[in-house]
Amino acid sequence: MTGRWGWALAGLLALPSVASAQQSGSSCDSCESCTAALSRDSAFADLRGDIDASSATTCVRIAGRGATFDGHRHTVRGAAVGVEVAAENVVVRNVQAQEGGVGFRVAGGRAVTLLNAVVSDARVGVRIERSNDVRVVRAVLARNRVGVSMGADDAGQCARAMPLASTGVVIVRSRVEGGGVGVAACDAMPVLTGNTVVSNDHGVLLGEVQAQGAGARGGPWDACSCAPAPGGSAPGTLLLFSSGCGGCTVHESWLPEERSRGAVIRARSGGADGGVDQARFDAHIRHCGPEVVDALGVPGCVPNYACPASGEVWKRREGDRELAIDRTVGSPNDVVAFSEACRTAGRQGYGRGGRCVTAALRSNTLCGNRLGDLRVAGPLSRWGSVDDRCGVVEGGGAARCARTCEGVELAAVSAPVPAAARPSAPAIPSIEEAPSDAGAGGFRPSVAPVTGGPRSLGTAVWWEIAGVLASAVGFGLWRRRRRS
């Protein structure tokens, strides 16, 4: 293929560096086949259908370092443990669990990411045990006895003065509703950012954790903002995923102007050369901005931006072919505004040195929990709090919420809506590539249906490019499955 589309396609062929350490993907459809597929280092496995695991002790166990498990919104039902992670640098995305004992268990894991996990009607939604740097991103946990448990008993309660066992737990933009205890942190000091915890018996319980020393061992910790990041990125740095394709070139051409206006942006080095810098950036964003990588393979999804300090991204996957948008980006002005919001989040939540996390509770809504929204053993001041909305706060002195719960809608809690039954997502901008687009301000958004077929040459080419990209990052299987 030659001409400008051939060049754009060649640029996207550089993207396998996102998964360069991964083996070619495989599909699985049972507890046994998924466990076997994910036992190897750097494995990539797609769940092909729902699993009835009512007779299983642990259905899927992930032991391979660097493994990725994509559930494509399929359900593991009835297992004592639906998915267990016992390795490092693992990503589990788009997996649902229903009923049974524990939906997701992270035991002895490190740098583990749970993205779009959905658990309903289980004893525990997510259980974290003796693990470091676990990130729970955009989970939906409904009607579980305990939503997220870190050292809690089966009733979600904490023993007194427990030693710190799990460090660097971060829960981002998740929803916990209709259960017994929403979040119980007994042997961990998590960072909670942008979560909604409503209509449970108890909302968030923060135990009296015995933490000593500096860094992760001394209190709340967020490795994505506290540990060294690629290129020396500090908290509040906006990350631009750039592959060198035409649309990315447009955004890269904006960078000098944006930076001259004070925007703090770290861009992935584009092009087909790969190299150490790309590998470091990709490893960082895979864990700290997983929605960006998860959106690859859907038309109009390159480039993309992520802010680890706030958990916001430009575009993220809602279904196999649907997107949602946290921050609109259609011009340099929009990117500068996104960077300013990201920098503000960094200033509000993070400092320097051993007490890197200065506000472990940020921008959460803790409302309508029948027996209390927030309970703290020991002084609440050590957790810090910024822009939270809550009602009843027990222990730790005065409430430290910036806003009350007035106006918060507490809808009746119901089962998560299957992806197939969801209404179509609104149209999103899709980048029409052309040589004239390369200049600053040359971004030309066009309306493209993300759930339908191509409507224009630019969108059609995006479909072609997305097919190649999907194969590169493991989405080829679901595309073939949808055609069958």
Strand partners for 60: 83
- Tell me which H or E stretch contains 445: strand 445-448
Residue 86 structure tokens: 């016992």
CB 256 within 8 A of CB 335: no
CB 190 within 8 A of CB 171: yes
Grouped pLDDT means (10 residues each) for the chain, 484 residues: 26 34 72 97 96 95 97 96 97 97 97 98 97 97 98 91 93 97 96 97 92 84 89 89 81 95 90 77 94 85 92 90 91 97 95 87 94 84 85 71 85 50 40 29 28 28 36 36 38
pLDDT at position 399: 54
Amino acid, single-letter form, for residue 341: A
Longest dimension (CA), the chain: 68
pLDDT at position 478: 35
CA atoms of 370 and 236, how far apart (whole Å): 35
CB 325 within 8 A of CB 315: yes
Amino acid, single-letter form, for residue 60: V
Strand partners for 165: none
The radius of gyration of the chain's CA atoms, rounded to the nearest angstrom, is 22
pLDDT in tens, 381-420: 678 888 999 988 887 655 568 888 988 878 655 544 444 4
CA atoms of 96 and 83, how far apart (whole Å): 10
pLDDT at position 286: 94
Task: Return contacts of 329-335, CB within 8 angstroms, 24+ apart.
Answer: 329/305, 330/429, 330/443, 330/445, 331/441, 331/443, 332/254, 332/257, 332/258, 332/261, 332/440, 332/441, 335/238, 335/251, 335/254, 335/258, 335/263, 335/265, 335/305
CA atoms of 307 and 343, how far apart (whole Å): 9
CA atoms of 468 and 484, how far apart (whole Å): 19
Residue 315 structure tokens: 């575009």
* Other Cβ atoms within 10 Å of 480 Cβ, number: 12
Instruction: Report whether the peptide linkage leading into residue 230 is cis, meaning its omega lies within 30 degrees of zero.
Output: no
CB 437 within 8 A of CB 444: yes
Tokens 């700290």 sit on residue: 288
Going by C-alpha positions, the residue among 262, 147, 241 that lies closest to residue 195 is 147
- Tell me which H or E stretch contains 468: helix 457-473
Report domain 21-223+358-419's class: mainly beta
Coil vs helix vs strand at 10: helix
- Tell me which H or E stretch contains 477: helix 476-483
* Other Cβ atoms within 10 Å of 333 Cβ, number: 14
* Other Cβ atoms within 10 Å of 421 Cβ, number: 6
pLDDT in tens, 169-188: 999 999 999 999 999 999 99
Burial class (CB in 10 A: 0-12, 13-18, 19+), 352: exposed
Alpha helix segments (H runs only) across 241-330: 246-260, 276-288, 290-294
CB 284 within 8 A of CB 230: yes
Amino acid, single-letter form, for residue 195: N
Alpha helix segments (H runs only) across 316-413: 332-349
Amino acid, single-letter form, for residue 437: D
CA atoms of 316 and 333, how far apart (whole Å): 21
CB 82 within 8 A of CB 56: no
pLDDT at position 103: 98
pLDDT at position 342: 97
- DSSP letter (8 states) at residue 225: H
* Other Cβ atoms within 10 Å of 418 Cβ, number: 11
Torsion of CA 311, 319, 25, 481, to 10 degrees: 180
Strand partners for 446: 430
Give ranges for CATH 2.160.20 in the chain: 21-223+358-419
CB 305 within 8 A of CB 258: no
